[in-house]
Amino acid sequence: MLLLSYIKNHILLHIASFAMYSILLFIMLLVIGEIIYDNGYDRLSIEDTTYTFRIYTDDRSKVDSIVQSIDDYSDILVASEENDYVLVSFLTPISENRNIGMPITVVNKNEIAYLSTVFFYDNFIDINSPDVNSVVVGDKEFEVIGQQNIQLCLPVEIVEVLCLNMDDFWDVARSDSILLSIYKDERMSDGELDALNKSFVDNGITAVKYLPDRISSASKVMNSDEVRLIYIMAILSCLCFARLTLMLVVNRREEYRIMRYCGASKMIIARYILDHVMFVLTVSVLCGSVLYWVFAAFSKDLFSYGGSAFAFYLLVLAGYLAAVLVTSGLFILAKAAKDGY
Amino acid sequence: MVIELKNVGKTYNAGKDEEVKALSNVDLKIGQGEFICIFGVSGSGKSTLLHLIGAMDTPTEGTITYDDVEIGKMKDNAQSRFRNDNIGFLFQDYALIPYRSVEDNLKIPLYFSKYKPNEFKDIINKRLEEVGMSKYLKRRVSNLSGGQKQKVALARALMCDPSVILCDEPTGALDSASSEEILKLLLKVKEQGTTVIVVTHNKMFENYSDRNIHIKDGHICEA
C-alpha cells in the first residue's frame, strides 16, 4: 500500500523528470558528448581507427568520387592523392596524454610499410618543432612541397598534413593501384562503413582489399581521461544522492514530526527515511537503465564513440538524478508560489 | 489513568549562554476523565508542559508518571509505543499531511499500533463517524476547510483509543462556529472517560473544563 501510495504521489514528478531529462540528455549529447570525444575518451588504438583500402584501379576519378561520397562525414580525414601530391596525415600532439597519431601507410615498391606513430615521430617529426623538409621511406626521399593545418570539426584537434611530391610518390607506388587511407578519430560506425562500402560499389570498384583486419579486435584501453571522467561522474552521482537524501529528510521533517506524535519511534523514522531514499534511488536507477538502453538501441551511430557502457551509464544516472532534483525544486517553487510565499 | 507531575522542570541549553528555563517546580495531578484547560501567555511554558506530558520530550528535573509508570525513564522505543497506545495529539496547525487523503492520514497511528491491517478500515470508519466526517474518507486533506481538518485530526488522535488527548490551541485557527463544534466533540470524548488537556487562549473552554490552570513564566498556579 505504501509503495502504491508513493508511486501515485510521485508519478507526476517522474514524468516531469523524464521530460526534463530528455531535454538535458539531448543538450548533454551535443555539448558533453563532443567534450568526451575531444578528450579522447575511450579512444581506440590507432590501428583500429585507421582504415586503409587498396583499390585496384588506375582511374583516379573513381577515387575522387569515393572521397567525395564520404566527405559528408566531416570528421573523417581522407588521405589520398589530390592534384599533384598525396596527403600523408598525422595528428599533432596537443598534450602529454594525446601523444597518439596516425600511422603512415606508404606503398613502397610493392610493399606496404606501416610506420608506427613512434617510428614516425622518431624518424621524421620533431614534436616540438614540426618543420619537416623531407620524409624518407626506405631509401627514397619524399620532398615536402607544402604544409597545411586542417582544422576538423572538433574544436582543438588539428591535423597537420604534409604535402609530398606526387611524382616521387608514384615512383615507389604500384602503378595499378591507388592507396586510400581513411583516418577517423575512433571506430567507424556501422552506418559510416556501410556508406563507404556502398560508395565503392557505386563507383564500380569491386576489387577492394581492406588492409587492417584488426578492426574487430578493438582494444578498449582504460586511459587516464576515462578514469578522470568516471571519477567526475562518481562524484556527481554522490553529490546528487547526497542532495536527494538531504531533500527527503529536510523537506519531510513535518511528516516525520507527525509520525512521532502518532507513535513512531526514532528508529522507525530512520528506517522510513532509508526506505524512501533507497526506493527513490532504485526508481532512478531503473529509469536510468531504461533510458540508457533505449538510447543505445536506437542511436548506435550517436554512441559509436561512447565506449564504456558503465561509465556512460553512470553519467546517465547522474543526469537523471539531477533532473529529478531540478524538477522537485521546480515543484516546490511552484507550490510555494501557489501558497503565496 | 492518573497523570502525576512531581517537581517537573525543563531547561533548554542548560549551562550555555542561551539557557532558557521553560518550566520549573511543576506539581500537578490529573485524574482519569478530567477536562483540564491550561491558560497562559505566549512563552509561558504551556506547550513545553504539553510536550512533556505527551512524552515528546523529557524533563530536566522531576518525574512524570502515568499510573506510577515513569515515562521519562523509558527508552525511545517504549516511549513511542506508550504514546501510540495512550496519547492522542491535537494541534492548532492540525498536523495533517496535506497532500494525502483523509484515509491515509488516519492510517498513520495505526501503522505503529497493535492493530492489524485488516482492522484498519473498521476503526477508521468508526472514528470518522464519531466526528461526522464519514463522507470525506477519500478527500485530500488540502481540500478540506479548517474545521473539517481539525475534526480529521481529532479522529486521528482517537484512532488507537487513547486515555489522554492533548490539545495545543485546537481552536486557534478556527472560526467561532467550528470552535464550538470542536469543543463539543472534545466534551463528548471526555464523557467517554478520556482525559482531555487543552492548552488554549480561548476563554470559551473555561466554562466547560473541570479545572483551569494558569501558567506564568514556567510556574503553574491552579485557578
CA distance A141 to A136: 4
Contact of B124 with B137, CB cutoff 8 Å: yes
What is the residue range of A250's domain?
Answer: 2-40+221-338
| Residue B122 included in any domain | yes
Would you call A263 and B109 a contact, using CB atoms and an 8 Å cutoff? Answer: yes
pLDDT confidence band for A40 (50 / 70 / 90): very low
Residue B26 resides in a domain: no
Same domain for A210 and A90: yes
pLDDT tens figures, B192-218: 999 999 998 888 888 899 999 999 888
A236 in the same domain as A163:
no
The Cα A209–Cα A323 span in angstroms is: 49
CB environment A242-264: b (16+ within 10 A), e (fewer): ebbbebbeeebeebbebbbbbbb
Per-residue pLDDT, A301? 44
Per residue in B53-80, pLDDT (tens digit) is 999 988 999 999 999 899 988 888 899 9
Do A230 and A117 belong to one domain?
no
Task: For A184-207, write each residue's pLDDT tens digit.
Answer: 444 555 566 666 667 666 666 554
Q: What type of residue sits at position B194?
A: T
| Same domain flag for A199 and A245 | no
CB-CB under 8 Å, B81 with A265:
yes
User: Both A167 and A244 in a single domain?
Assistant: no
Shared domain for A259 and A168, answered yes or no, is no
Domain-located, residue B4: no
Cα separation values, B158 from B48, B131, B143, Å: 22, 10, 22
How many structural domains comprise chain A?
A: 2
Asked whether residue A212 falls in the same domain as residue A226, the answer is no
Q: Residues of chain B whose C-beta is under 8 A from some C-beta in A?
A: 54, 56, 76-77, 79-81, 83-85, 89, 95-97, 99-100, 104, 108-109, 111-113, 117, 156, 160
Q: Which SS3 state, helix, strand or coil, does residue A103 take?
A: coil
In a domain, B84, yes or no: yes
ipTM, 2 decimals?
Answer: 0.92
Boundary of a domain, candidates A191, A217, A243? A217
Based on the fold, state whether residues A121 and A264 are members of the same structural domain: no
Supply the pLDDT for residue A31.
52
Q: Is a pLDDT exceeding 90 seen at residue B3?
A: yes
- CB B81 to CB A263 under 8 A? yes
Q: What is the CATH number of the domain that holds B163?
A: 3.40.50.300
Domain that holds residue B39: 32-57+76-222
Distance from CA of A12 to the nearest CA of B (A): 13
Q: Say yes or no to pLDDT of A128 above 50.
A: no
| pTM to 2 decimal places | 0.56
For A292-339, write each residue's pLDDT tens digit.
Answer: 666 556 554 444 444 455 555 566 666 766 766 677 667 666 665 654
Question: How many structural domains comprise chain B?
Answer: 1
Residue A329 sits in the same domain as residue A247: yes
Rounded to a whole number of angstroms, the distance from the CA of A242 to the nearest CA of chain B is: 25
Nearest CA in chain B to A2: B104
Each residue's pLDDT tens digit, B136-159: 999 999 999 999 999 999 999 999
Closest among A174, A179, A263, A9 to B54, alpha carbons compared: A263
Per residue in B93-127, pLDDT (tens digit) is 999 999 889 999 999 999 999 999 999 999 999 99
Contact criterion met (CB < 8 Å) for A258 and B80: no
**Average pLDDT, whole number, for chain A?**
52
Task: Please indicate, yes or no, if residue B115 is contained in any of the structural domains.
Answer: yes
pLDDT of residue B106: 95
**Residue in A with minimal Cα distance to B106:** A262
B51 contacts in A (CB within 8 Å)?
A: none
E-strand ranges in A13-122 read 50-55, 76-79, 81-82, 85-91, 104-108, 111-115
Hey, which residues 218-277 in chain A have their CB within 8 Å of chain B? 254-255, 257-268
Q: C-alpha cell of B69?
A: 509508570
Q: Is residue B90 in a domain?
A: yes
- Look at residue B15 and tell me if it is in a domain: no
Would you say residue A93 has pLDDT above 80?
no
